[in-house]
Structure 1
Amino acid sequence: MSSAPVDQLFIAFAQLNPVVGDVAGNLAKARDARADAASQGAELIMFTELFIAGYPPEDLVLKPAFQRACREAIEAFAADTADGGPAVLIGAPWVDGGKLYNAAVLLEDGRVAAVRFKVDLPNYGPFDEKRVFAAGPMPGPIPFKGVRIGVPVCEDIWSADVIECLSETGAEMLLIPNGSPYRRTVYEERTNVAVARVVESGLPLAYINQVSGQDELVFDGGSFVLNADRTLAVQLPNFQERVRLTRWERWADGWRCEEGARAPLLEGDEADYAACVLGLRDYVEKNRFPGVVLGLSGGIDSALAATMAVDALGKDRVHCVMLPYRFTSNESLSDAAGVAEALGCRYDIVPIVDAVEGLEQVMAPLFAGRARDVTEENLQSRARGTILMSISNKFGAMVVTTGNKSEMSTGYATLYGDMNGGYNPLKDLYKTEVFRLCTLRNGWKPANALGPDGVVIPENIITKPPTAELRENQKDQDSLPPYEVLDAILERLVEQELPVSAIVSEGFDAALVARVERMLNLAEYKRRQAAPGVKVTTRNFGRDRRYPITNRFRESV
């Protein structure tokens, strides 16, 4: 490296939270960020993938009226840049030659100065961009103040071709707008891909990701800059918005980003918890619910859901309701009250005996001569679901449902009962993970959480055997294998898609694996009717795993 820089460039990166469809709101947020960047001395501010539309827009982006609104917003923003302030690099849907593209647009000197289109359209897991966008041609770099900037869009860096083209056509740095959703393995995957592109191209790379919840997806931010020698120059925090100025210097051997703040990233269980909180918060806020209501049973799932709700929204926007029946123990009553007291949220007790027995009376003529069974148990759950939905209708709060992934996998849940609700922050967490996150939260909380510090989930809830309390002395393990075993089998069936024979070869009981696989298949019709919930694993129910409901295929052991 030579002894002095030849040139310099100040670039601000906007790691922000757009709202899908809120074109005017996203434009206002972008203008505020540009003003912030200008005050810091930026010459260019960069936003994330499809920022003006919100990401992912799904089929909304096919509406001509929406396309026009996005184009008009970009043109209005372009006009702003005539003021001599920072130029803008922003993501937007763009119609050109009768085709719709996922574009990165440079706005400079009061005009749209350059447009580049996403080449590699992802079509796996939660993505299906090929059904809405046309693939762009291989891009060349964008000239800006004498610098040739390569702008591959998100998926374009996950293979070498686009970066190779940019490098061969003279790009001097890579600025990458992203809409990359959170999953547990994402940080290692992103880092490996980014390092590979830096090594292949010899170019510094800035990876800028949005931070938001959008239906089932959570975007974690975590934007970063790698220099050409693969050193980490800048690291933005995950799960938090930021507008961060970076200083770049051109040396004889190329551009280099000056080292700046490198925020520590939440990882593992901490990142899972933060993702669930952000997903719930944004779902409630962006859909304009005044708050949430949930059934607080005294069990571990509802305790964790209530804690996440308070962390997301604050205690004054969370309403917990205990709905006891004659099988509800005093222990459960005490534990539920303990959670509500620790969280400081509203807590009401609404006994369901009259509702359940009224329903049983109504059904008595039809059920005459038949023994009591799971039907009567489900009446309890459905009475609770109806009461919670009635509270929601009357006061406007959204019902949070609290089933975990173990239950959703095996069908250990009641349609139109405990599955009632608008959103489920636990949907992609196995039961064993629910236990871990409860223990975690009692000793830690995310930096932007609104709930109290310290122990919020009584230890007894974490240590007592789980039970639905729909009959006398009921325990989950009466119907399900121990959760440690069940979850291990489910993870292999769902996330890894292993054959039954391969799971058995690992030492699991053959009859048990076959039973779990059968429960998983039979419960598909329930999962199709379940509330959306946060995705944290590599394969969630909904966007990632879409099996047919009518399906007779069964594996032999």
Structure 2
Amino acid sequence: MRHGFVKVAAATPDIRVADVAYNQEQICRLIDETASEGAKIVVFPELALTGYTCGDLFTQDVLLAQARKAICQVAAATEEKDALIFVGMPLAVEGELYNVAAALNRGKILGFTTKTFLPNYGEFYEMRQFREGPGEVRCICFEGEKVLFGPRILFEADVMPDLIVSAEICEDVWSPVPPSIQAAREGATVIVNCSASDETIGKAAYRKSLIEGQSARLMAAYIYANAGEGESTTDLVFGGHNIISENGTTLAEGERFKNGVVYAQIDVKRLISERRKNTTFKAARERYLARVPFRLELTETKLTRKFPSRPFVPDAKEERDRRCEEILTIQAMGLKKRLAHTHARSAVVGISGGLDSTLAILVTARAFDMLGMDRSQIIAVTMPCFGTTDRTYNNACQMALKLGAQLREVRIADSVESHFRDIGHDIEDHSVTYENSQARERTQVLMDISNQTGGLVVGTGDMSELALGWATYNGDHMSMYGVNASVPKTLVRHLVQYCADTEKDREMKDVLYDVLDTPVSPELLPPKDGQIAQKTEDLVGPYELHDFYLYYFLRFGYEPSKIYRIAREAFAGEYDEETIYKWLHTFCRRFFSQQFKRSCLPDGPKVGTVALSPRGDWRMPSDACADVWLRDLEQAAKGGTNV
């Protein structure tokens, strides 16, 4: 449960219709199984104690009495179990019969959540036997104990304040206003659903989208346990379609037509982070719901949840290609608008033969095509200097010509050497002054050419560089519109790859593939034996690690210790713990110290959920202190815990 990870389960037991003793035995067997797997929240289907398909047998006192007795025995079986467990059952109260979910914890029945919406259409006739639940929660006497009874009861974990669970039953989530909406507004982060949803053609896909949608709308985890084999097949078939979703994403899904348990690890702190950032998620001003504490031990959750090591890049090629096309269109549309608004007659792009400038000029070409402008008004400027290699120079020139752009070459070595003399800098001193003077000279050239040609400078820097501050202030840091500003480096590579794969011109395709094979470098230091001497990832760290850190730091507000923990899982076999720690420490330090560069970024289009625009997504003081974050990481590396 450290870092907010909680293992949960949706369980479909084998049952026999109206055989309460057998069903009790099977439920207890799965409780034992889920306990051995470390599940802290376990959900069983609707009316699991009796079977959903009992029909008019629900009017028989003997069945209801057996169910009442059985739930007490199931509760007793949970006494040594460290979990909150929900079991569906029929419950007679004051002469009326209700469809309820019993919440069990440490040998006690904490409450009976009633079903609010009873389906009475198509194959469902629940109003024949059951009554809709009451509008408000009240206490009833059950086996000599006062127990909460009603809708939207909140069950709150004593050791984890943000773990608040509420139940609803089957049709409730299919209704226009599910009870879970109010429960979430009053703090529930986990919604459970005891369900008996039969299988018909196409229903499984709709059911999954419904659960994903509800979890997304509520920014909650949703555990859906469905009835399965064992229910009567007189008219219907139940497939045991269990689903565990979190904020719109399915974490686990059971195989249909096969009873069993599905497990997932939900991240409660991630959900809380989402809610804090989303101002449309309004907490209820008045509290109407009953709240019941339940006991859990604060134990370690051994991570089995998967974390993609490249979170910005979809694994499936089809989805990756679709996303690349969408991003390229967003970038080009943003630039198109800016070109039209400024009545620009040209676009000036500094091209180096590297990934970022390649993507920028490809996007610029798209924008010109959208505007119906001649590509010859794209002015591609190559500016060789001390670190430029033949490989990158030739690729830059050939790419510009193949795109139909106007190629200009401005050799800046003489200007930079003159500047060194002006400021008294030794040309043999290859310090930051040596490097940044070249970057600033290049930016000056681009800006002045844009003035000459009535155009604007298209920025090439990407989001990963901005996060690390790996840009020269008022050098490559500056432009008139930054098309790559919210594209991380790992995604830049795939965008260029997509353009290469779909390119029809053989020579252009070869150039793009060679750009992809070229090491990432600013080429500000002299080459060695004609090869690139300055490799960015040797200096600042692997971008695939930094993009991972950036995604979870910004998207979900994870603390460094949590990022360190999940990075070790995600990059197992690729990077050792020392390497992950080293570059995460670098990321935290640089992210805070380099904010001043992000505070004055040029405009640029947002393409994903993570962005660093100081006008929208990330507003941070430039002099914020990183000590709290660095200490959290250092403690984790020493074996400390952060609950």
TM-score with structure 1 length normalisation? 0.50
TM-score with structure 2 length normalisation? 0.43
Larger Rg: 2
